Chain A
Amino acid sequence: MRSTRRVVTIQSGEEAGRYSDPSLLVLASLANGPKHGHAMIEDIAQMSGTKLGPGTLYGAIARLETQGWIEALPAEDRRQPYQITAKGLRVLRAQLNTLNQFAKAGLRRLASL
């Protein structure tokens, strides 16, 4: 029952086209400049249609910072801006290229139906 409802939602709603890997979304959001948490949530919602919850966002931030893919800048008031590192940019580029190839291959298959 639960899974059926989920399938129906995905098929009929706007959820279907959304991408929701929090780490990649954060990296992509920081690709055009440093941002603090609230700005990232707004930017990601505008960019991908996915509104990350604050816990999910900070879970991704903690892991990305540990991996050295993003870094904290000096705090502004109580808000903490982050910027993407050179290593993070390489990772983002590689992941987007992979996604791009995957999307092209998938769309080709759909076109041949």
Chain B
Amino acid sequence: MNRRLAQLLISAYPRWWRQRYGLEFEALLVAEPGGLRNLVDVARSAVRERVISPNGPDEPALPFGLVATRPSAFLPVVMSLTALSAVIFHILLYGITRQADEGGVAHIWQIFMMGQLPLLAFFAIKWLPRAPGYSLCVLATQMVAALASVAPVFLLKL
């Protein structure tokens, strides 16, 4: 395998792993063929190391439940879904009609969507360094929930 490609793949591993095994692993990768099978194998292992032991072998990753049940993890999702519910409620009652910014539903939607931004930032700052794999899953869920709430407002021009 090409040395540059090997170094690029190794950079996907956690820092502690690179410091402990980086040099010898690079020597092995250079000696091995650089086929698709090996590329996938190394990429998959890098993700696995980042999820299972991001901070070192003696400090295993926190359980997913512990990360996902933090208020800063689930509250943004709840806020997005509440905002989405308000939009759906408005559509069911009044149909697809544009509401002024001062309207009650518009205010609720804005408060919930803007109010979750500090929570998102807090979660990312606190948990990404400690449990990157799980935190990215939670952040992705938060993003999907936020997009689900934003989509009808912009698509239906409410």
Contact = CB atoms under 8 A, between A and B. Distances in A.
Interface of A: 36-38, 41, 53-59, 61-63, 65-66, 75, 77-80
A58 B26 contact: no
Interface stretch (B43-51, B80-88, B136-144): B43-51
The DSSP consensus for interface residues of chain A is: helix
A55 B24 contact: no
A78 B26 contact: yes
Given A62-B21, A62-B57, A66-B58, A56 B45 contact: yes
A84 to B, nearest CB: 17
A66 B57 contact: yes
Given A55-B41, A56-B45, A78 B58 contact: no
Contact of A58 (B28, B37, B58): B28
15 contacts: A37-B28, A53-B41, A53-B42, A54-B32, A54-B41, A55-B41, A55-B45, A58-B25, A62-B20, A62-B57, A63-B57, A66-B57, A78-B23, A78-B26, A79-B27
A75 B57 contact: no
B69 interface: no
A38 B28 contact: yes
Given A53-B41, A55-B45, A41 B26 contact: no
A37 B26 CA distance: 11
A41 B32 contact: yes
A75 B32 contact: no
B31 interface: yes
A59 B26 contact: no
A38 B38 CA distance: 13
A58 B45 contact: yes
A99 B26 CA distance: 34
A54 B42 contact: yes
B17 interface: yes
Contacts of A58: 21, 25, 28, 45
A56 B29 CA distance: 12
Q: What are the nearest 9 A-B pairs in CB distance?
A: A53-B41, A55-B45, A80-B24, A78-B27, A55-B42, A66-B57, A37-B28, A55-B41, A59-B45
